[in-house]
Structure 1
Amino acid sequence: MEKLRVLLLTLLCHPLLSHGGSAITFKTQDGSEEWGYVQVRPKAHMFWWLYRSPYRVEDPSETWPIILWLQGGPGASGVGIGNFEEVGPLDTNLKPRNSTWLRKADLLFVDNPVGTGFSYVEDQKLFVKSDDEAATDLTTLLAEIFNNNESLQRSPLYIVAESYGGKFAVTLALSALKAIEAKTLKLILGGVALGDSWISPEDFVFSWGPLLKDVSRLDDNGLQKSNSLAQKIKQQLEDGKFVNATNSWSELESVIMSSSNNVDFYNFLLDSGSDSATLSAMKLGLSREIAIRQYSKYLTLRRKSPGGDADLDTLLNGVIKKKLKIIPENVTWGGQSGDVFTFMESDFMKPRINEVDELLAKGVNVTVYNGQVDLICATKGTEAWLRKLKWEGLQNFLNKDRTALYCGSNKSTKGFIKSYKNLSFYWILGAGHFVPTDQPCVALNMVGSITNSPQNN
C-alpha cells in the first residue's frame, strides 16, 4: 500500500530543483506543485507548499486568487492539518477531496512559526516569542516566494486563518502592507479571513461559562467557578501578567472540563475524546509539556483519521516526507511544535483587536467566520470582540440584517452572512471549530465569495 502511495504522489513529479541565497525549491514537472524552505533568519527554516489549481481560469480579464492558509496552535501545522484534514487536494487517505478549496483558488500552506510542522530551528534561541516576530518571518518568506515570480504577483493573496492563526493573519497583513509600501514585497493583498480566530482571549474565556450554562453543560456552581477564573484572567491581562494569564487559562479549561464532564472544546455538543470527524481529524502528536492545555488538544493527542489506516503524524513523517525529498533526515514533522507554544506563552493571551481595526481603517477586506457549536473560539466571544472595534462603519454593520445561506439543492439553512463596506461576518450552522471539515459545502461557497473567484461567478 505504501509503495502505491509513493508512486501516486511522485507521478510526473521529477524535481526541478533551484537554490536561492536563502531558499531551496522543489517543483513538479507539470508545475502543479511547488514547495521548499526559506531561511527566514540564519538557522531558522520555514517550510511552504504551493498548489496551483487545475480549475484556474486562464482569462486575461479575470484574476485567479491565491489563498495563504495559516493554522493555529501556535504550533499546529498548516501543511499537515489545513492541507490534508481541511481544504487541500487530498485527504489523509490520499484520496481526492471534492470540496478542496483549489476549486476557488491556488493554495499556499506554510508551517508557521518556525519550529512548526516541517519548519525547524537549529538553535532554541531562534523560536519566535510574539505574533509580530512571526509576522516578520512570514513577510520574509512571502518576499522570497513572490518577488521573483511575476505570475504570482498578478494574483491577489488572501490570508485565511483558523484559530490562533487569526492573530498571525492580522499581524502578517499589516507587516506585508508596510513591505509592499516600501517596495520590498511584490504582491497584491486581497483580504484577510479570520475563521474561529483567537483574536480576543479575554472575550472568549468570558463566553465559555454563560454559553455552557445556556446549553445545560454547566450548572450554577460551574458557571460561578468559570466566571471567577475569567475575572482573574481579565485582571492579569490588565496588569500585564501575560504568562500568568496563560496559566490561568489552562486552569480555567481544566475547571470547565471537570464541571461539564469533559465537554469537547471544539464542539460543545460532544464529549472530549469522542470519535467525531472533527476531533479525530485534528489531534496530533507533540510535546507532553502542553498536554494539559485543552486548547492545544489537537497538538497533543495522536488520533486515527476517519476511515484511515494511519494518523496524520505517520502520514507526514512517512509517505509525504518521502515525496517532498528535501526534508532533512533529522527533522521530524511536528518534532519542535510543542516548543513553539512554550516560547509564545507571553503573547498567547494578548488581544489583536487593534490590528483588525487598523486593517479595516486601511480599507483591507476583513471577513470573520465562526462555527455555531465551537466553544474554544465561541461565536458569543467573537461577537463580543467585534463590538469593541473602533472602526467608523461598525454601527452601520451592527444595524444591518443578516442574509440566510444555503448550499446546493438542499434548502435548509446553512448559515447567515452580514456585510458592510469591507467587513463581513459568516455564521456557519452545524460547524464546530473546524468549519471546512464540518461544513465543506458552505465553506467552499464562502471562500469563493471572499476571493471573488471566477469559479464563483
Structure 2
Amino acid sequence: MENQYSLLYLSLLLSFSLLHEHIAYAAGTNDGSEHWGYVEVRPKAHMFWWLYRSPCRVEDPSKPWPTILWLQGGPGGSGVGFGNFLEIGPLDAKLNPRNSTWLRKADLLFVDNPVATGFSFVEDKTLVVKTDEEAAEDLTTLLKKLFNRNETLQKSPLYIFAESYGGKFAVTLGVSALKAIEAGTLRLQLGGVTLGDSWISPEEFVFSWGPLLKDLSRIDSNTLKISNSLAHKIRRQIAKGNYKKATASYGLLQNIISNNSNNVDFYNFLLDSKNDPVTGNRGSKGKDVMGKYSEYLSTKKYSPSGNEQDLPRLMNGPIRKKLKIIPKNVTWRLQSMLVFQAMRGDFMRPRIKEVDHLLAKGVNVTIYNGQVDLLCSTKGVEAWLKKLKWGGLKKFMSLDRIPLYCSGDNTTTKGFFRSYKNLYFYWILGAGHFVPVDQPCVSLEMVGNITRSPN
C-alpha cells in the first residue's frame, strides 16, 4: 500500500510540474501529501491555494476518490486558515491531529478567496473584486489552471462546499464552472455544490432574527417591533437594488439586536457572543493516521490556547515558515476588511436564481444547516427554499424527513434528512453556524454520503 501511495504522490507531483508556467509560486511536502501555491488569476491578482491528499484514499474505479473545495465566508474570511485549522483540516489550531478531519472522506482543497483574503494578495487595491460573479471568475480561472493539465485531479469529482457567505461564492462558481465545462475550457467533474449555513438570501434571514429571539425570550416585544420594521426596510432596499443601503441597514439591525439581547451570539442563539462555539478549538488529537501532517510544523515556539484569536500568530508564524513562498509584505488576517468593504454593494444581493440554475442543470445541490444558528437560521433557509422555481420543489417539500444518528447510536437523534432528485437537505441538531465544529461525527458521515466517498 505504501508503494502504491508513493507512485500516486509522484504522479501528482509530475502533474503539478506541468502547471508551473501558469503558477507564480508552487511548493509542497516531500511525500506529495500536500501541495500549495499561487495562481495569478488576473494580472497582479494572486490567489493562494493549499491541497491536502488524503492518507485514507481508496482506489476504487467504480467510486472515484472525491476532492472537496472549501469556500469560507466573510466575505474576506480565510479558508486556508479558518476552515482548515478551526473546522475540517488535518490539524487543529494547537497543531494536534484532528480525528474528525474531512480528509477521512476526501482530498481537501482550501483557497483564500477572494483575492486580498488571507495569504492571497493584489498588487493594486483596485483589483479587489466587487461582486460574487467577479469572485467566481477568479475561482474558475484557478480551477482551470489546477485541473486542465492534471489528469489525477480530473479523475477526482470536485465537490464545492461552502460556509456562510461562501455559499454565494459557491453557487456563482458552480454556474461559472458549469458553463466553462460545457464550453470545453475547464476539464473537471463537478460532483455537486453544498451550502452549509449559507447566506443565499439575506432578506429571509433578517426577517427570521426577531421572531426567533422573541420566542427564546432573548429580546422583548419592543425590540421585535424595531427588528421587524428594519427587516421591512431592508426588503424594500433590496427590491430597489439599493444593496449598499441594505448592507448599512443590516449592520444597524445587528447592533440593535446585540444591544437589546445582552450580546446574543449570532453563531449560536443559545449563547452569549463571548462564548462563541469556535472560541476554544474543539479539535481532538485523533488517531495516528493524521499525525504525519504535524511533523512539518515546529511547535517549540508556539503554544496557543487554540481559539480563533491565536490564528494570526499561527498563520504568520509556523505556517508561514512551513509554506516558504508567502511574500514578505503579505500579512495573514482573520478578516480582510478591504474585501468586505469592496463587496458592500453585493453583500445583500440574493443568489436564489443561481441555486435554481444548478438544480435545473441536474447538478446535485445539498443544503445543511445548524439548528441553533441565528445568522443563517434554518428558518431563513426554509423561507428562501420555498422561492425556488425548480420543478421538483413541491414533491421535495411533501416528503417525510429521515432521522440521522451517528456511530451506531440509534437512541440519540443528531439531525434529519430529506432528498428528492438532485436536492438534498440536512437539518443538524445541536449545531450552530460552524456545523463541523459542533457536530463533527454526523458532519463526517454527511460528507461521506454527499461525496459518495468509497471510504
After TM superposition, the score normalised by the length of structure 2 is 0.89
Q: 1:428: how far off?
A: 0.3
Structure 1 residues 380 and 309: alpha-carbon distance in aligned structure 2, compared to 1, 3 A threshold? closer
Equivalent positions of 1:307-386 (< 5 A) are: 307=306, 311-334=310-333, 337-386=336-385
Q: Deviation digits for residues 325-366 of structure 1, max 9, x if unmatched?
A: 000011101288110000000000000000000000000000
1:278 offset after TM fit, Å?
2.2
Map of 1:446 onto structure 2: 446
**Deviation per CA, 1:195-218, whole angstroms, max 9, x where unpaired?**
000000000000000011111111
Write out aligned runs for 1:157-172 (5 A): 157-172=158-173
Change in CA separation of 1:112 and 1:272 when aligned onto 2, cut-off 3 Å: same
For these two proteins, the number of residue pairs brought into alignment is: 419
What residue ranges of structure 2 are gaps of 5+ in the alignment?
1-12, 283-302
1:254 corresponds in structure 2 to 255
Question: What is the aligned partner in structure 1 of residue 27 from structure 2?
Answer: 26
| 1:430–1:231 distance in 2 versus 1, CA, 3 Å | same
The equivalent of 1:7 in structure 2 is: none
The CA deviation at 1:279 is 3.8
RMSD: 1.8
Work out the percentage of aligned pairs sharing the same amino acid: 69
| Native 8 Å contact 1:264 1:273 kept in 2 | yes
Structure 1 stretch 22-31 or stretch 88-97: which is displaced more?
Answer: 22-31
Query: Is the Cα–Cα contact under 8 Å of residues 312 and 334 in structure 2 kept in the other structure?
Result: no
Matched-pair contact (CA < 8 Å) for 1:22–1:40: no
Moved more, 27-36 or 122-131: 27-36
**Cα distance in 1, alignment partners of residues 322 and 454 from structure 2:** 31
Question: In 2 relative to 1, CA 39–383 (structure 1 residues): closer, same or farther, beyond 3 Å?
Answer: same
Matched with 1:413 is 413
Larger RCO (CA within 8 A; separation ≥ 6)? 2
| Cα deviation, residue 305, structure 1 | 6.8
Structure 1 residue 421, shift from structure 2 partner: 0.5
Aligned-partner residue type, residue 359 of structure 2: L
Which consecutive segments of 4 or more residues in structure 1 shift more than 6 A? none
SS in 1 for 2:198: coil
Aligned to 1:208: 209
Partner of 1:190, secondary structure, is strand
- Aligned letter for 1:240? G
Residue 273 of structure 1 and its aligned partner are, at CA, apart by 1.2
Distance 1:99 1:27 in 2: 23
SS in 1 for 2:178: helix
Q: Distance in 2 between matches of 1:56 and 1:213?
A: 47
Secondary structure, in 3 states, of the residue corresponding to 1:158? strand
Q: Kindly state the Cα deviation for residue 375 of structure 1 after the two structures are TM-superposed.
A: 0.3
What one-letter code is carried by the residue in structure 1 that aligns with 2:31?
Answer: D
Aligned to 1:425: 425
Aligned to 2:437: 437
Structure 1 residues not aligned, in runs of 5+: 1-14, 283-303
| Residues 422 and 313 of structure 1, relative CA distance in 2, 3 Å threshold | same
Q: Distance in 1 between matches of 2:335 and 2:193?
A: 28
Work out whether residues 74 and 335 of structure 2, in 8 Å CA contact, stay in contact via their aligned partners in 1.
no
In structure 2, the residue corresponding to 1:454 is in which secondary structure? Answer: coil
**2:113 is paired with a residue of what secondary structure?**
coil
Once the two structures are superposed, residues 376-435 of structure 1 have per-residue CA deviations (whole angstroms, 9 ceiling, x without a partner) of: 000000000001100000000000000000011333000000100100110000000000
**Could you report, residue by residue, the CA deviation over 1:220-268 in whole angstroms, capped at 9, with x for unpaired residues?**
1110010000001011111111100000000000010111111000000
Write out aligned runs for 1:83-94 (5 A).
83-94=84-95
Q: Deviations over 1:58-84 (max 9, x none)?
A: 233330000000000000000001100
- Per the TM alignment, residue 23 of structure 1 is displaced from its structure 2 partner at its CA by 3.4
More deviation in 210-219 or 106-115? 210-219
Matches within 5 A, 1:182-201: 182-201=183-202
Give 1:306 deviation, angstroms.
Answer: 5.2
Q: SS of the residue aligned with 2:274?
A: coil
Q: Which residue of 2 aligns with 1:120?
A: 121
The separation in 1 between residues aligned to 2:361 and 2:250, in whole angstroms, is 33
Residue 403 (structure 2) aligns with? 404
Residue 35 in structure 1 maps to residue 48 in structure 2: no
- CA 1:451–1:129: 2 relative to 1, 3 Å: same
- CA separation in 2, counterparts of 1:61 and 1:417? 26
Query: Following TM superposition, by how much is the alpha carbon of 1:323 offset from its aligned partner in structure 2, in angstroms?
Result: 0.2
